[in-house]
Structure 1
Amino acid sequence: MFLIVTTLMLTNSFCHADVNENTGLQCSKVDYSATENGFQTSLNNLFSSLVNGALQNGFYKTTAGKNSNKVYGLIQCKGDISGNSCAGCTNNSITVALHDCPKSKEVWVWFRWCFLNYSTEDFFGVMANNSVALMNETDYDDLAVISNGLSFMSGLASTAPKQPLMLQTAVMDVGLSGKRYGMAQCTRDISNIGCGKCLNAQLVTLRTIIESKRGWEIYGSSYFMWYHDFQFYSNISITASAKRLSSYGVGVGTIVAVLSLLTLL
């Protein structure tokens, strides 16, 4: 398994309200058969099912079409948002996919509230390592906190797979520096063991990028992690001043490194 890390500067606003924003996108190579009626019909049927399915419990996977036009799709929403917010985020993801990847048969779209993936290949249960890391590059944490931050999140990586929805939150009290809040989640098509391996592998691989930051977010194809100095979960309506973020991810920008990951089998 490999992780391709690319670098770009974003002008995303990031605030204490849990604002839903597009955090990453990856399109497969151009395939003109993606515009043919048969595949488009399958894709439209898939999208309709995903929007309706997302209303149920924040996770839904399904297929549409047959033979060469068969397409597999998955939606995973952030565990603390409502069904309506999940469906709305699914619609936003579909809009981005159709606009930015109109000739692709495999697409990944990351929003803060949800993740959309569809493909003509059966990827259900496959632990891919496409990922985007989002943070404020200049917002460094206190030295006394840095040494504990990754250990705190590593604990979440160990406990999240054991939860019924593979979702875990926790709070770390750091004295005069306040508190740090963490959340870890995996897509529910992968195994509990795979979830733990995915989360821990990301912490190891991205350590040098995230360990000194006061806040960061990782969005992957099978896993998600958030770490901040404010309670960002179950807290969508509170507004606060914005922070500028940088993003390290897949499918955009200039490739700067290819890092070998742990075998996740």
Structure 2
Amino acid sequence: KKKKLSISNPSSPTLSLPFFPSLRSVSLGMADMAGHSHSLILILLFPLFLVTIKGQSPYYSCPESALTYKTNSKFERHLNQLLASLTANVAPTGFYNDTVGNGRNQVHGLVQCHPDVSADDCKTCATSAASQIIQVCPSKKMAVIWFDNCLLRYNSFNFFGIVDQSKLALVNVEDIYQPTKFKPLMLSVFRNLAASATTNSSSLRYATATVAYTKNITLYSLMECTRDLSSSSCSYCLRTSLTSIYQCCSDKQGARVLSGSCVIRYEIYPFFGNVLPPSA
């Protein structure tokens, strides 16, 4: 069932805390929410609003204010062509963007998989994303859907290279052990990951870290931007997301902040693998 909520729109890339972003109204939801082993909290970053959910990805966002298209229109045909192109071309690099049509009927889109996902699993994820995004966001001219292994985004506006500032936070309901000790560690790890993900040599715009927190607790962290972004735009997206996750969620055992341009996540269990080299 789709939940209509407000998602924050950060107005500044600063890491100064606390941080209070402005608002933008959108629709978002959780599709096929079955079988996840622990509860999460869906958070609006400001004002604070909580919805406890059980389930797993995908999560999706469809702005209520977005333009709509009609059934059997040129835009719908172009969107279907775009989604087919994205799923056909995402492997083996794990990223593909394309534009179909022109004028009012033009649609732009991208799909991206985590670099640690195999080419076959990447294509499977992209295919599922393309299929579900038109089901959960029917007739919308802009939408984004997030799976654990990939994200897919399309828009009638050419968003390539532009940071999507709408953000959704998902938080584990369990508190972390000794949060005053954990918060500075989490912040330090994410700052280092942001530097790694945004270096000129990091074309994947992706970085992970595994750090011991206590004798029995290990911190697993991930940062990733979509590969259409420049280093500076990626850095902006990650910094604003880090500010948000620190503000809302840094006393919990796990959390993630999702946007159409970047994802940051930490857990106390493994959720990523080794980065695979591109297929020949």
Say whether the fold is shared (TM-score over 0.5): yes
With normalisation by structure 2, the TM-score equals: 0.75
Matched, 1:90 2:101: no
What's 2:54 paired with? 12
Matched, 1:154 2:191: yes
Q: Identify which range, 171-180 or 157-166, moves more after superposition.
A: 171-180
Cα 1:210–1:30, aligned 2, differ >3 Å: closer, same or farther?
closer
Q: Which runs of 5+ in 1 are unaligned?
A: 15-20, 236-265
Q: Is the 8 A contact 1:34 1:102 kept in 2?
A: no
Larger fraction in helix: 1
Q: Which runs of 5+ in 2 are unaligned?
A: 1-8, 11-20, 24-43, 275-280
What's 2:82 paired with? 46
2:53 alignment partner AA:
T
Q: Is the 8 A contact 1:46 1:71 kept in 2?
A: yes
Q: Is the 8 A contact 2:242 2:264 kept in 1?
A: no
TM-superposed deviation, 1:118: 0.7
Cα distance in 1 between the residues matched to 2:242 and 2:68: 38
Cα distance in 2 between the residues matched to 1:65 and 1:47: 13
Matched, 1:127 2:163: yes
TM-superposed deviation, 1:28: 4.7
Q: In the alignment, which of 99, 122, 145 is matched to residue 135 of structure 2?
A: 99
What's 2:113 paired with? 77
Matched, 1:200 2:239: yes
Q: In the alignment, which of 215, 225, 231 is matched to residue 176 of structure 1?
A: 215
What's 2:33 paired with? none
TM-superposed deviation, 1:30: 6.1
TM-superposed deviation, 1:234: 1.6
Q: Is the 8 A contact 1:29 1:104 kept in 2?
A: no
TM-superposed deviation, 1:75: 0.7
With normalisation by structure 1, the TM-score equals: 0.79
CA RMSD of aligned residues (A): 2.1
TM-superposed deviation, 1:94: 2.0
Q: In the alignment, which of 62, 65, 79 is matched to residue 26 of structure 1?
A: 62
What's 2:224 paired with? 185
Instruction: Kindly provide the CA deviation profile for residues 40-76 of structure 1, in whole angstroms up to 9, marking residues without a partner as x.
Output: 2111110110001112211110011222211101111
Aligned-pair identity in percent equals 27
Cα distance in 1 between the residues matched to 2:131 and 2:143: 12
Q: Is the 8 A contact 2:172 2:252 kept in 1?
A: yes
Which one has more relative contact order, counting CA pairs under 8 Å at least 6 apart? 1
